[in-house]
C-alpha cells in the first residue's frame, strides 16, 4: 500500500511521512529566510537583525532537502517506534514545562531526565545519577548564568 510515482515505483507509508515532513520543514525554512531577509542582513562588519534567522532558515532548507532526497531514494522499510517510549518522552517534556516555574530549574530537569531514562530501557542508577547531576549543573550554568533567563534554581 502506497502512492505510485511517475517512474512506476511505489512510496511506502514511512517514506511518504518522511517526504511530507521534509516538505513542511522546507516551507518553514523558506518562510524564515524570506521574513529574515526583510529585516536586513547587515554587512560583514555589523550584522543586521535578520542575519541569524536568515542563516538558520537556510540551514533548515538545506537539512530538509537532504532529508527529502534521502526519503525519495530510500527503499528500506522503517519500523514504527513502540508507543510507550515515545509517550514517556512527551510526558517528560510536558512535566518539565509544568514544573519549571513553580519548582525551579533543577527539580524540573531531574524529573525530565528520570522520566526520559525510563523511556530508554534498563536503568543503571549510578551512571544515571551522574548524568542527571551534570545536566542540572550545565542547565543552571547555561540558562541562569549564561543566558540570564528568569528561572529560579530551586522553586520560588
Is 68 within 8 Å of 23 (Cβ atoms)?
Answer: yes
In the numeric block, the cell 525530565 is attached to: 112
Residues 6+ apart with CB under 8 A from 120: 85
Can you give the residue ranges of every domain in the chain?
3-73, 83-146
Is 78 within 8 Å of 104 (Cβ atoms)?
Answer: no
Model confidence pTM above 0.75: no
Give residue-wise pLDDT tens across range 61-98: 999 999 888 888 776 555 566 788 889 999 999 999 99
DSSP state of 150: S
Give residue-wise pLDDT tens across range 12-31: 555 777 888 899 999 999 99
Amino acid at each position: 500500500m502506497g502512492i505510485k510515482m511517475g517512474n512506476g515505483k511505489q512510496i511506502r507509508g514511512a517514506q511518504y511521512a518522511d517526504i511530507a515532513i521534509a516538505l513542511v520543514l522546507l516551507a518553514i525554512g523558506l518562510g524564515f529566510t524570506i521574513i529574515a531577509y526583510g529585516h536586513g542582513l547587515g554587512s560583514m562588519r555589523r550584522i543586521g537583525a535578520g542575519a541569524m534567522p536568515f542563516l538558520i532558515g537556510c540551514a533548515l532548507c538545506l537539512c530538509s532537502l537532504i532529508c527529502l532526497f534521502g526519503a525519495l531514494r530510500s527503499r528500506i522499510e522503517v519500523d514504527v517506534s513502540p508507543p510507550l517510549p515515545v509517550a514517556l518522552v512527551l510526558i517528560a517534556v510536558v512535566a518539565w514545562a509544568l514544573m519549571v516555574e513553580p519548582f525551579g530549574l533543577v527539580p524540573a530537569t531531574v524529573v525530565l531526565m528520570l522520566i526520559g531514562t525510563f523511556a530508554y530501557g534498563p536503568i543503571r542508577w549510578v551512571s544515571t545519577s551522574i548524568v542527571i547531576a551534570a545536566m542540572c549543573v550545565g542547565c543552571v550554568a547555561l540558562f541562569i548564568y549564561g543566558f540570564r533567563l528568569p528561572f529560579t534554581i530551586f522553586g520560588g
